[in-house]
Structure 1
Amino acid sequence: MTTALDWPGFGQVSLAGLLFLCLAAVLAGAVDAVVGGGGLIQVPALLLVGPGGQPLYALATNKIASVVGTASAVTTYARQTTMDWRSAIPMAVSAFCGAVGGAAFAGALEPGVLNGVVLVALIGVGLYTWRKPDLGVAETPRYGRGVQIGLMALGGAVVGFYDGLAGPGTGAFLVFLLVGVVGFAFLRASATAKVVNVATNLGALLYFIPTGKVLWGLGLVLAVCNLSGAVFGARLAVRRGSAFVRRVFLTVVVALVVSLGWKAAVG
């Protein structure tokens, strides 16, 4: 169980490590499909097991599972809810471009500075949502169609750039943008955010592929596990509605704040 597997594309992980990563991928897919934040589970699990011996292998391989998981969540949402593709697609395209740009600049910014900015932003997002219990329970459009699409595209580019640059909290920022700025209900915001997440994950993956750090065998196994969790999570979100998604959103934001706060504390 603890002997390293010599399977090609698995980065010398052991059978025990592989089983652990599969369980983490299922849970991550379910959480990510509801409101985002699956990276809180899947990325640390990969870094703990350490396939390939370098952190970049874990980060790059994670994107395979994330692309498949978010894409399956989109399919589930599209079958069971009304998707506004006319606004979601421009947002996804701009987010894709932003993610590629962010990945290209990933080494230009001090991680500690970025984590501090994100930590403050997440605390603000969490407090704002908590203090407004009716936020995102029902649709409250704030702008005309043209302005709405423009804001979504601009926000998608900014969040996509951040996702390529770092990543933690991307799903939470997308959902808050759609709920707090555009006026979506939480369920619709989560569904739209999954479309955008597919684009950002794909953009980052396309950047990582030429580096040779993607472990395809391990990534495809985790993708299947992530997919099964994502389908379950999306169906649960549709069945329970916006109030449930709001509670999960606040839980994920708190977990992100604790995670980033811990990183800042230990340097």
Structure 2
Amino acid sequence: MPELAGLDFGGVSWVGVLFLCAAALLAGAVDAIVGGGGLLQLPALLVVMPGGHVIHSIATSKVVGTIGAAATGFTYSRKTPMDWGTVARMSSAGFLAAMAGAACASALPAAALNVVVLVALLLVVVHTVRNPDLGMAERTHGTRTVVAVLGGAAIGFWNGLGAPGTGSFLVFLLVGLAGHSFLSASAIAKVVNVATSLGALLFFIPAGTVLWGLGIAMAVCNVVGGVVGTLIAVRRGATFIRRVFLAVAIALIATVGVKLLG
């Protein structure tokens, strides 16, 4: 595909760009509702492999994720109350940790990380299924500050590595350990994802691994999907979000399991 106005598309054809934009649109909708849009977006990039190297897919996905999450977070903030204290603490920790994760993106063994994620996801699904009232309403919880700082740092590092499922993990931490409802947790997770993706980009941009043309095209589609997904989530409420959360978590388990067996 010819480059437009000097923007880099990583040699992807028009058909490839349309495929990636469609994936970004769907990922934006899923991510807005409950997180886990990276389950669709990053694999799509890896199938097309723009630029010829995995690191370009990871870096470009951060541009898409940052812009998409920012638009979704803004929409949530206008539709539902936001716990800005938790947002600030979690975002600060996640921002710094994401920079470290991005720096380690090509250094850590993927197999070991996949095992950790698989076990964590299984525990998340079991806990959510066994507690049907989990996340249906806000609960005062004394561990919110600890969860915000430590959880934000852990998820930020994982996001910096380019691993999928960070939005879902954020939602579960906020619901299961901090007492937020699924709706509130989804709103907070979007803003925190902006911070973690920005932290990763501070490493990727100077390294020259971001494909800006492709990233901007996908980001526009991701924003559209995100706004639609947010409106659906706010209208349908916590019960609907819980169901989507379980579906995304199970899909993540299947994806990670296939990687480990492959």
Taking structure 2 as the reference length, the TM-score comes to 0.96
Match status 1:107 vs 2:106: yes
Structure 1 residue 212: Cα displacement: 0.9
Structure 1 residue 54: Cα displacement: 1.4
Question: Which residue of the partner structure matches residue 5 of structure 1?
Answer: 2
- Return the alpha-carbon distance in structure 2 between the equivalents of residues 251 and 80 of structure 1: 24
Match status 1:131 vs 2:133: no
Question: Which residue of the partner structure matches residue 18 of structure 2?
Answer: 19
Instruction: Judge conservation of contact 1:186–1:245 (CA < 8 Å) in 2.
Output: yes
Q: How many residues align?
A: 260
Counterpart of 1:234 (choices 218, 230, 238) is 230
Counterpart of 1:174 (choices 155, 161, 170) is 170
Structure 1 residue 166: Cα displacement: 4.2
Question: Counterparts of 1:244-259 in structure 2 under 5 Å?
Answer: 244-259=240-255
Instruction: Judge conservation of contact 1:106–1:166 (CA < 8 Å) in 2.
Output: yes
Match status 1:264 vs 2:260: yes
- Return the alpha-carbon distance in structure 2 between the equivalents of residues 257 and 16 of structure 1: 30
Taking structure 1 as the reference length, the TM-score comes to 0.94
5+ residue gaps in structure 1?
none
Instruction: Judge conservation of contact 2:98–2:196 (CA < 8 Å) in 1.
Output: yes
Question: Which residue of the partner structure matches residue 221 of structure 1?
Answer: 217
Instruction: Judge conservation of contact 1:5–1:15 (CA < 8 Å) in 2.
Output: no
Structure 1 residue 6: Cα displacement: 4.3
RMSD: 1.2
Q: Deviations over 1:132-161 (max 9, x none)?
A: 111000112221xxx522331221112111
Q: Percent identity?
A: 55
- Return the alpha-carbon distance in structure 1 between the equivalents of residues 73 and 201 of structure 2: 18
Secondary structure at 2:102 match in 1: helix
Structure 1 residue 5: Cα displacement: 3.3
5+ residue gaps in structure 2?
none
Structure 1 residues 45 and 32, CA, compared in 2 at 3 Å: closer, same or farther?
A: same
- Return the alpha-carbon distance in structure 2 between the equivalents of residues 231 and 149 of structure 1: 29
Q: Deviations over 1:196-251 (max 9, x none)?
A: 11111111112111111111111111110100001111111111101111011101
- Return the alpha-carbon distance in structure 2 between the equivalents of residues 210 and 71 of structure 1: 22
Secondary structure at 1:140 match in 2: coil
